[in-house]
Chain A
């Protein structure tokens, strides 16, 4: 009976979990900037969750180093359905300046399905918010498809 309400709510309350897969911290700072007074993503319901169990959207930054790969995959696996995976910055998809290094296992899309890719080094907060909003739409879609 709450089906409609739940679908509606899924689009309005996406909680983020942020994974740093060897990032230079540029994207990480920028993700935090998204939540600051100037851009305030919380008005769209975004919130940083402390544990992957509570997250809807996983934000991955960094070029997926060999050390981080199994951890990233395990953490993504531990996020309950419906979930969205957003890569932030150029690194997770292309490797950026780290490309070709012996210790880089990227891109992430080799291992899991990536829903949204926000490119840029680093992407502007506006772009990040746009990407996250897109992910929210996908999330809502996934919820709708779950039976």
Chain B
């Protein structure tokens, strides 16, 4: 195995991040050097992982790597392993992309802060933690990486500790996050007691089929632990607090990457380690949790009046989509869920960066204090609109492509199982999507359009570096929306297939034939997975039509044969070009975010006030939710599994 062989790439990927973190501590005082190191250490892993796409995604190879070449001895894994199958690589690519783009963004974004070297150190630690988590083939290492990323995320949340709520958010996150981490540790160790191994592949071969009481307990603990990391519903207030207070580039990571690591953990847990996904109740619980997450969080988002906090609630709502789709346990479902996970990283990253740009220029993200920024920041506004259209699922952007697959998957599942409950999930998903649209209409109106308050008059377009980073994400949003066929073929479907092929995963790690030997006839190989959907959607031809139509209409409109009256606009204040105020002089009057959608909120007022009281902001309450969720999970595991 040569030193530069592709088998080394996963470990290089993880090490580059940590190496970068270390180098910045040492050499970070010089700005140029710092930026160079940060750039190289985020671009490098991305390049390394992209170079693996051909092997892993297309040819279905699974890379297993034993640290120090300590391969299993006598069917017994003693070394520490990294294992990269299509699923790991898929999440790894998401992580690397988000980290790279957010890093480009932070070069200019973090300029005005103090202690910038520490920021980059923590940032790279966070990136390395998540990357280590998704590429690891060892349960205890997963725990270590979870701790590293939680720590880095907490520290980064509190990084701007003068911002209202930053410390508070960090503390709440630390407490509930620690409960989650402790659950993961306890679950890991109980599994170890049962199987005397920590290797994922070996555990996956030994555990399924022999569930004792302790194994079931371990399942519940691990499940809740990863739910904490994904911020699924009882844990969602933490995400909202943390995203809202952290610098925008960190919010991108927390929302786009950290939540994905939780989802990754859940997938590994239910599809590989315990292989419980064939149980109807397990599917029901995942879909239920996902649906509740998406609906509760989107309604919470509608009630927010802070730009970033609103986006944070939407993150969890979108994660709910992912979990729902994954919980269907059909090929189409998982493929759709992973597609949406990818899209979420892209568009939510874009939206957070746009929010960061607004914060950078105006110093606030309060929806009530902003307005009319599209005039001062046209590029940011356009990029934000792309992100907003994506997340609201407006065709032809990427959010629509994946949501459309999710609708198909849920409804198809309903038709296959004859269970009308899954049809209800389709309905919830679609209504949630419309509510998402509503809340982004709210942001658009109250931040970028409408009238400009005096305080925002000094805003100007953000530096090119920041726009460039946003532009990359916007471009990816459009491309992944226009070519859903390519995305599913080369990225999500291989990953979805890998989720079913636990047998291959075990064999790649433990040697050919191991899975069959240990698990007997039950060894799940690589079953034929169907990705057929019952609908049709070809975004490219639709877009082409729209373009032609728009062009034709514009040509007619501009030919101007019928309309000699020119469109005039004058710079001096003239009565004619003032807004119509019933005859009064124009004065500042903005329909703010809180005033919108009264007709909706009024009908749901009891629900909204109930939810508002529930999210009390007291850390004890959130911990209590965590404990209750843990208790429920344990009861479920003991009774059903």
In the complex they form, whether A and B have CB atoms below 8 Å apart is answered with yes
B562 touches A1 (CB 8 A): yes
Q: Is the interface of B mostly helix, strand, loop or mixed?
A: loop
A3 contacts which of B562, B578, B580, B583 (Cβ < 8 Å)? B562
Residues of A within 8 A of B562 (CB): 1-3, 5-6
Q: Type the 1/0 row for B541-580, where 1 means its CB is closer than 8 Å to any CB of A.
A: 0000000000000000000011011000000001110101
B564 touches A74 (CB 8 A): no
Knowing A74-B575, A78-B576, A78-B578 are in contact, say whether A146-B583 is a contact too (CB < 8 A).
no
B583 touches A71 (CB 8 A): yes
A74 contacts which of B561, B565, B578 (Cβ < 8 Å)? B578
- Categorize the interface residue count of chain B: 10 to 19
How far apart sit A126 and B474, CA to CA, in the bound complex (Å)? 62
Residues of B within 8 A of A68 (CB): 583
Q: Tell me if A110 is interfacial: C-beta within 8 Å of chain B.
A: no
Q: Type the 1/0 row for A58-72, where 1 means its CB is closer than 8 Å to any CB of B.
A: 000000000010111
Residues of A within 8 A of B416 (CB): none
B564 touches A147 (CB 8 A): yes
Please give the distance in Å from B559's CB to the nearest CB on chain A.
9
Q: Tell me if B113 is interfacial: C-beta within 8 Å of chain A.
A: no
B583 touches A51 (CB 8 A): no
Q: From B583, which residue of chain A is reached at the shortest CB distance?
A: A71
Q: From B566, which residue of chain A is reached at the shortest CB distance?
A: A147
Knowing A74-B575, A77-B575, A78-B575 are in contact, say whether A51-B564 is a contact too (CB < 8 A).
no
A78 contacts which of B561, B564, B565, B580 (Cβ < 8 Å)? B580
How far apart sit A75 and B561, CA to CA, in the bound complex (Å)? 30
Residues of B within 8 A of A75 (CB): 580, 583
Residues of A within 8 A of B582 (CB): 71
Q: Tell me if A73 is interfacial: C-beta within 8 Å of chain B.
A: yes
How far apart sit A73 and B584, CA to CA, in the bound complex (Å)? 10
Q: Type the 1/0 row for A1-25, where 1 means its CB is closer than 8 Å to any CB of B.
A: 1110110000000000001000000
Please give the distance in Å from A52's CB to the nearest CB on chain B.
6
How far apart sit A2 and B585, CA to CA, in the bound complex (Å)? 37
Q: From B575, which residue of chain A is reached at the shortest CB distance?
A: A77
Residues of B within 8 A of A5 (CB): 562
B580 touches A52 (CB 8 A): yes
Q: Tell me if A130 is interfacial: C-beta within 8 Å of chain B.
A: no
How far apart sit A73 and B561, CA to CA, in the bound complex (Å)? 32
B580 touches A53 (CB 8 A): yes
Please give the distance in Å from B88's CB to the nearest CB on chain A.
59
Q: From A53, which residue of chain B is reached at the shortest CB distance?
A: B580
How far apart sit A75 and B578, CA to CA, in the bound complex (Å)? 10
Please give the distance in Å from B501's CB to the nearest CB on chain A.
63
Residues of B within 8 A of A74 (CB): 575, 578, 583-585
A146 touches B565 (CB 8 A): yes
Please give the distance in Å from A76's CB to the nearest CB on chain B.
9
How far apart sit A72 and B584, CA to CA, in the bound complex (Å)? 9
Please give the distance in Å from A139's CB to the nearest CB on chain B.
14
Knowing A6-B562, A81-B565, A146-B564 are in contact, say whether A73-B575 is a contact too (CB < 8 A).
yes
Query: Could you say which of B574, B575, B578 has the most chain A C-beta atoms within 10 Å of its C-beta?
Result: B575
Residues of A within 8 A of B585 (CB): 74
Chain A interface residues toward B at CB < 8 A: 1-3, 5-6, 19, 51-53, 68, 70-75, 77-78, 81, 146-147
Chain B interface residues toward A at CB < 8 A: 561-562, 564-565, 574-576, 578, 580, 582-585
Query: 16 other contacts beyond A3-B562, A147-B564, with CB at 8 A cut-off?
Result: A5-B562, A19-B583, A51-B580, A52-B580, A53-B580, A71-B582, A71-B584, A72-B583, A74-B575, A74-B583, A74-B584, A75-B580, A77-B575, A78-B575, A146-B564, A146-B565
Q: Could you list 5 examples of A-B contacts with CB < 8 Å?
A: A51-B580, A71-B584, A75-B580, A77-B575, A147-B564
